[in-house]
Amino acid sequence: MDEQTRTEVEAAAFRALLAHLDTRSDVQNIDMMNLAGFCRNCLSRWYQEAATARGLDMDKDTAREAIYGMPYSDWRDKYQTDASADKQAAFKTAFAQNVGKPAPE
């Protein structure tokens, strides 16, 4: 597979992932992080980092909107639920293991 085709296939797979996540707003970021070691916020950070590496000026809010399909605050208000103490404790561990630093408060 040539480089251009690989890039197009990867982009299509990424768009499919975002479309899938759009259909699963019931899946909380904390559950994704605890089970898979990444969440929608991680995707938005990677998206922002990729844009910045290519000389594009992109802030955190713009990157999150690209991943969530709406402003993050709207998504949070519409879909995010409270996490149990057990999930919050598991998140601190998962975040440290996967990001390499303590979880944000």
Entry pTM: 0.84
Where are the alpha helices (H) located in 24-84, listed in sequence order? Answer: 29-36, 40-53, 60-68, 72-79
CB atoms within 10 A of CB 34: 21
Residue 99 to residue 76: CA distance in whole angstroms? 22
Residue 3 to residue 44: CA distance in whole angstroms? 24
Considering just the CA atoms, what is the radius of gyration of the chain in Å? 15
* Structural domains present in the chain: 3-97 (1.10.3340.10)
What letter does residue 81 receive in the DSSP assignment? Answer: -
pLDDT beyond 80 at 8:
yes
Residues recorded for the chain: 105
pLDDT tens track for 16-72: 999 999 999 999 999 999 999 899 999 999 999 999 999 999 999 999 999 999 999
